[in-house]
Amino acid sequence: GHTCAILDNGDLKCWGGGGSGQLGTGNSYTNVFSPPATAIDLGTGRTAVAVSAGGYNTCAILDNGDLKCWGADDYGALGDGGTNTNTNTPTAIDLGTGRTAVAVSVGKFHTCTILDNGDMKCWGRDNQGQLGDGGTTNTNTNAGKTNRYLRCRSRILNPNQ
């Protein structure tokens, strides 16, 4: 397993098991036994506002609403439309034109995110209906299928209010 934490300045650090790239270090697929000195590179000027660490991959919502994921891509779990290739660097996920993420949850081999318009998109393994789309077909393209069965509400709390 692995653990991730967002620091008070928005930096993101992950440690623990890293054999699939889920720590996002960009330079190795090895275990890290304590929080690293260097934060994960989320892009110039970008910070994390939410993170979810699953079995073998990690996803973070950035301060601009973008979603980035990294780690194992078994069954399309990263949602990058790739070829089931693991990555140890954050990869931008296409949520659709003008869409941003407000919540994310990473499972063992699948991920779901709630978008700013209330839609939920899920991708990855679907052998037990994890994607909630009424089927059992794995998906890794265009950040999965929009779940038309659910309209979600996510509260974003401002700690300064």
At 146, the pLDDT band (50, 70, 90 cuts) reads low
124 or 151, higher pLDDT: 124
- First-to-last C-alpha distance (Å) of the chain: 35
Q: What is the pLDDT of residues 92-130, one digit of tens each?
A: 999 999 999 999 999 999 999 999 998 888 888 888 888
10 or 135, higher pLDDT: 10
- Beta-bridged to residue 3, according to DSSP, are 15
At 149, the pLDDT band (50, 70, 90 cuts) reads very low
10 or 80, higher pLDDT: 10
Q: What is the pLDDT of residues 36-89, one digit of tens each?
A: 999 999 999 999 999 999 989 999 999 999 999 999 999 988 988 877 889 999
The predicted structure's pLDDT at residue 48: 98
- What DSSP string runs through 40-87? P--STT--EEEEEE-SSEEEEEETTS-EEEEE--GGGTT-SS-SS--E
How much is the average pLDDT of 8-24? 95
The predicted structure's pLDDT at residue 83: 75
Whether the predicted model's global pTM rises above the 0.95 cut: no
- Encoded tokens for 95: 């949520």
How much is the average pLDDT of 14-31? 91
The predicted structure's pLDDT at residue 81: 84
The predicted structure's pLDDT at residue 89: 95
